[in-house]
Amino acid sequence: MAAPLKLKQQKSSSVYREQVLVSENLPVASVLVETPVSHLEGIYDYLIPQHLSDVATVGSKVLVEFGRGNAEGLLVGRKAKSEQAIRLKPILDLTSPSGIVTPNLIRHIELTRNRFGGSFWSILKSAIPSRVIKEEKLLVTTPKQPKSIRYESTELRDLIGRSDYGFLGSKARIKWGMNFPITFDPDHFLIELVKIRAQVSQILLLVPDEKDLDRLSVSLTKFFGSDLIQIGSHLNKGLRYRNFLNATFNSPKVIIATRSGAFTPLSLGATVIVLSDLDQSHYELHAPGWNTRDVTLLRDNQTSLIFISSSHSLEISRLIDIGWLEKKNYRQKNNLKFATNEIGNSFIPVIKKGIINGNALISVAEKGYANLFLCSKCRNTASCECGGKLQIQRSKNIPQCYICQKKYPEWKCIFCSGNRPFVIAKGIDRTAEEIGKAIPKFPILISSGSKQIKKLPTGNYIVVATPGSEPSERYSAVVMLDGEKVFNRPSLRSEELAKFSWFSLLNMAAQHSEIFLSLPNNHPVVQAMLKMDPTSAASYELNSRKQAKLPPFFRVAVVCGDNAEISKFTENLKSSESKYEITGPIKIDGYQSKVLIRVDLEQAPLLVDLLDDITKVQGVKSRKIFTVRFDPFDL
């Protein structure tokens, strides 16, 4: 655990500010000052002027004189006298409503800082939106009184059982790792879950992105009305701050938020629901790089936690495996028919059967047309002079380098002079073209990248989409292509993400649907899909990760800096008697390198402290400070 913040001595100014009337009641404020460098972060004493005595409460943001200028600070305590021997400076003004940073939020931020390193203020800025003074003037606080909601959902009770339904509607703390039931509309399931739980608990629903927030808010707002608010970076500055103030001082029944709402203050015994924690949007891009899953797990022990997804991250799977989270996997009769690519089975018959009764969804790994092709004669890869691979953007188009954009109107293989391409990496356009030739009577829609389809028009359509771009509909046929490609990408989370994508597609299937999987029948994920249980394939992955000393059993720190400095740091770390697993240095470019440091969960707090101390020493010595990130989304 990182060292607690300590009281630091202020440098005495030769010219003292003019005298002010000082509060008679606990006149000394302990202020955590926002400083430009981490090694100066600490708590300093200031005097509380008489005119600010009533509003300068713990958790208020204040303006103070620091060094040669003014700085913002957080008032973390009041006392009768100071231990500092010098004459204290007064607080200049308040820069927030009184007590905007609650004691629970202060503890929550400190726990997050202890886990991910960095400064308290960097996390506080993520937790509290930028100030808009006019919104503070418009704030109306309502009396704290229970807001009663009565709602029954027989379909949810029949699906999850009377026992779990009873727990959901009670004030008992719950810690669930829940999967969406196959062929039951995920959005409807989640909304019913929120309605039942909101009868006994305030709800914070954390979703990956704005698209999820907008889609779910429509139905939730119809039910909760003004007792539901949104928090997220998609809102304009004024509305975002207004909603945060409302959440802090009025405790609305339901808060739906993206990543930036992960620290939202909640009432005692509230429930946090995290949707699809494996989604990369849950990971903060700015230092120190926290994620909503871990921030949620660091809430107090009276907060109920529900992690709900089509397929969980291995971090959540581990917590389920050790019994810290209770596994919830519900099934209903669905009569799905599965086909795999054994003995060269084609997916075209599946589409033909499905399109008669409704819409058919085909998922492909990549956009584009022919993203990689070989010479059909000698099977060598088609490459550019610069070393980049050639692509064909669309039908009857000429090959073009994906790096330098050079075109080859009369392409010939540099090995055998052959001029016929053999496509091995089809993009979405090529796949749609081939399906159109095989099934010419039905219209084909393409949803990918910036051209995503949110809602299908009336009629039966063949929809070809890349992962994450699928229209939220129910499909009579679901075809999952490029299985070998998506499950074997060179990244740590490739299998997790591929499984999440495929189970998300399976959740879009209507009852009696036809499903095609482009993997052999003996593949672990295919077996998990046949069992309708995404966690059944997690045990093998967890064992492999444990043996390889990888997350979620080990934490990983990625440290970046100048080549010479990183080399020296790595050498010193390897020569010490530490129990760290060190990989690198790895060159990023001609100037920068990185090193990966793996440490088991028990020793991780020591590594956090070590890297914090190193960056502080670099700050004191005016050196270039390392960039440190714990537990990045992928390696």
Q: What is the pLDDT of residues 86-99, one digit of tens each?
A: 788 999 999 999 99
Q: What letter does residue 246 receive in the DSSP assignment?
A: H
The C-alpha atoms of residue 580 and residue 599 are separated, in whole angstroms, by 5
What DSSP line would sit under 52-107, residue for residue? GTTT--TT-EEEEEETTEEEEEEEEEEES--S-SSPPPBP-EE-SSTT-S-HHHHH
The C-alpha atoms of residue 310 and residue 502 are separated, in whole angstroms, by 9
Q: What is the pLDDT of residues 278-300, one digit of tens each?
A: 999 999 988 889 999 999 999 99
The mean of the pLDDT values for the chain is 87
Q: What is the pLDDT of residue 8?
A: 54
Q: What is the pLDDT of residue 393?
A: 61
Q: What is the pLDDT of residue 6?
A: 52
Q: What is the pLDDT of residues 470-512, one digit of tens each?
A: 898 899 999 999 888 888 777 888 889 999 999 999 999 998 9
The C-alpha atoms of residue 235 and residue 281 are separated, in whole angstroms, by 16
284 neighbors 259 (Cβ within 8 angstroms): yes
- For the segment 231-255, the average pLDDT, to the nearest whole number, is 92
User: What angle, rounded to 10 degrees, do the helices at 103-116 and 604-620 form?
Assistant: 90
Short-list 1, 62, 8, CA closest to 38: 8
The C-alpha atoms of residue 422 and residue 438 are separated, in whole angstroms, by 20
List, in order of start, the domains of the chain with CATH numbers: 28-101 (3.40.1440.60), 154-329 (3.40.50.300), 337-368+427-531 (3.40.50.300), 378-420 (no CATH), 554-630 (3.30.70)
